[in-house]
Amino acid sequence: MIGTSGAVHDGHLSLVRASAAVNDVSVVFWAGGGRFDWVDSERKYQRDYDRDASLVASAGAGIIFAPSNEELFPRPPLTQVRLPHLSTGVPGLEDPAHLDLIAMVIAKLRNIFGPCRSYFGEKDWQQLTMFQRLAEDLCSPVEAVACPTIRHHDGLAMSSRNAQLSPTERAAAPALYHGLSAARAAIVDGERDAVALSSHFTDTVRTAAVEYFTAVDAATLTPLEKLEGDVRLLGSIRLGSVRLVDNLGVTVP
C-alpha cells in the first residue's frame, strides 16, 4: 500500500517502485486532497486523477484505490485515533488536527487492506514515525516501510508543495537542505548542544523565514537538549505562502 493526496511526483513514484520490486500487488490509495467537514483541517493539492493514475501505473501500481469521501466515512466517526506525543509533543510542527485525521485514515485503511507492507517517505518524518508507532501500538499486521527522501539535484526534497513556488522562491528553496546539512556537519565536528546547533541552521538559511528547527530523538520525536543516539534534525522554512519541511538523520556516539 502506498498513499498519496495527489500531485504525484518522483518521490511518490519511488515508493511505488520499491513496493513493486518485492510485492505481488502494489495498491495506491489516492486521496486527492479531500476535506472532511468534521475536522478542522484543510490541505490544498493539485487534483488531477488521470495524470496521477497514469504515473503510478507506469511505476508498477496494479490497483488504484480512490474512494470518495462519503465512501471512506459515510458518517462522521465517533472513534478517535490520536498520537498526541507525536502530533503535539514538539510545538510548531505540522497541524495537529491534520495529523489526527491522517492517523484515523491510516488506521481505517489498514483494516480495509489487511496484512500488507505500507510504504512512506522519510521526508515527512513526523508522519512516518506516527505510522510506525501506530502499527506497533495496535499490533496491526502491517510493516511500515521507510524509504529514503528523493531530492532534486540541488538538494531540495521532492514535494507536492514545490509546484506552488515561484521561480525566485524555487531558487531559494535549497537553503532548507543546506541549513540542515550545516547542522549535521556541526554534529559530526563535535557539537552536542541542541541550542547552539540551531545557529548553524539559521545562519545558513538566512534568506528564508525559519518556521522551526529542532533536534529530536528519531524514534519518539522527544526534543533533545544534549545530542546523543539516533537524532533527527527537523527543519521548516517559509517562502512566500509556501511552507517547506525537511529533515536529516545523524547518529551521535
Looking at residue 37, its pLDDT comes to 73
pLDDT in tens, 119-169: 999 999 999 999 999 999 999 999 999 999 999 999 999 999 999 999 999
Q: What's the pTM value of the predicted model, to 2 decimals?
A: 0.93
What domain count does the chain have? 2
Mean pLDDT of the chain: 93
Does residue 28 register a pLDDT over 90?
yes
pLDDT in tens, 83-132: 999 999 898 899 998 899 999 999 999 999 999 999 999 999 999 999 99
Instruction: For residue 109, give the C-alpha cell.
Output: 485503511
Cβ(88)–Cβ(221) below 8 Å: no
Domain containing residue 240: CATH number: 3.30.1300.10
Looking at residue 36, its pLDDT comes to 76
Catalytic residue among 12, 152, 153, 178: 12
DSSP 152-213: -TTSPBP-GGGGG--HHHHHHTTHHHHHHHHHHHHHHTT--BHHHHHHHHHHHH-SSEEEEE
Question: Is 12 one of the catalytic residues?
Answer: yes
- The β-bridge partners of 243 are 238
Looking at residue 53, its pLDDT comes to 96
pLDDT in tens, 194-251: 999 999 999 999 889 999 999 999 999 999 999 999 999 999 999 999 999 999 999 9
Residues 70 and 111 grouped into a single domain: yes
Domain containing residue 15: CATH number: 3.40.50.620
Residues 103 and 189 grouped into a single domain: no
Q: For residue 253, name the pLDDT band (cuts at 50, 70, 90).
A: confident
Cβ(120)–Cβ(146) below 8 Å: yes
Q: How far apart are CA 113 and CA 34, in angstroms?
A: 20
Q: How far apart are CA 171 and CA 15, in angstroms?
A: 26
Our measurement of the distance from residue 79's CA atom to the centroid of its chain's CA atoms, rounded to an integer in Å, reads 24
Pairing between strand 27-30 and 63-65? parallel
Give the residue numbers spanning the domain of 93: 2-147
Of the three residues 86, 116, 147, the one that is the final residue of a domain is 147
186 lies in some domain:
yes
Residues 208 and 122 grouped into a single domain: no
Of the three residues 125, 147, 169, the one that is the final residue of a domain is 147
Q: How far apart are CA 90 and CA 110, in angstroms?
A: 27
Does residue 62 register a pLDDT over 90?
yes
| Torsion, CA 123, CA 106, CA 100, CA 150, rounded to 10 | 10
Looking at residue 32, its pLDDT comes to 72
Looking at residue 135, its pLDDT comes to 96
Of the three residues 93, 126, 147, the one that is the final residue of a domain is 147
Looking at residue 46, its pLDDT comes to 54
pLDDT in tens, 34-54: 677 777 655 555 579 999 999
Q: For residue 77, name the pLDDT band (cuts at 50, 70, 90).
A: very high
Q: How far apart are CA 249 and CA 251, in angstroms?
A: 7
